[in-house]
Amino acid sequence: MTEYASGLSQPVSLAFNQTGELFIANQGNNQISKVSPSGGTTTTVAQLQQTPQALAVNAAGELVVGMASGSLLNVKADGTMSTLGSGFSSASGLAIDQQGTLYVADATQNTVFKASALPTSPATKEAQASLHCYSLRFQFRFLRWPA
């Protein structure tokens, strides 16, 4: 094995975008880092107020970040951040399928939730109303949105 990226602080989650850039969630310093496709060069994409746990990249190349607090953040390429939703006990794993559907693993509840629609940021009332999560254990759940 060869070293691909260094200077990280407790990296916990990885996600690639369509151009081959690697994004890394660092729990030790609450940062999201980006590594160029050739490796080695690490830059900070976002400095977060909370601890990140999981990453996914949507078709637009934007990051979805699952936070230890149970909230979901959207991070655009320019570093702009907005809250997509909250209400999970622990958003510990994320995946986005080819149709753009977001799946959220909640380790505390031992459940995977499926978002029927992923709003664009910043979240509007219409987009907020359209984001419903259904548990794969057939429980129904709405995300709580900030006031």
CA distance 29 to 54: 15
Largest CA distance in the chain: 48
The count of structural domains within the chain is: 1
- Domain ranges, residue 46: 11-140
At residue 43, does pLDDT exceed 80?
Answer: yes
| Predicted confidence (pLDDT) per residue in 84-118, tens digit | 888 888 889 999 988 888 999 988 888 888 886 55
What CATH number did the domain enclosing 128 receive? 2.120.10.30
pTM of the predicted model, to two decimals? 0.78
Q: Distances in Å between the alpha carbon of 90 and those of 40, 45, 72, 104? A: 31, 23, 10, 9
| Predicted confidence (pLDDT) per residue in 25-35, tens digit | 999 999 999 99
Higher-confidence position of 5 and 32 = 32
pLDDT of residue 49: 92
Does residue 6 lie within any of the structural domains?
no
For 127, counting Cβ atoms within 10 Å of its Cβ (0-12 exposed, 13-18 middle, 19+ buried), the class is middle
At residue 138, does pLDDT exceed 80?
Answer: no
Does residue 3 lie within any of the structural domains?
no
Residue 83: beta bridge partners? Answer: 73
Average pLDDT, the chain: 80
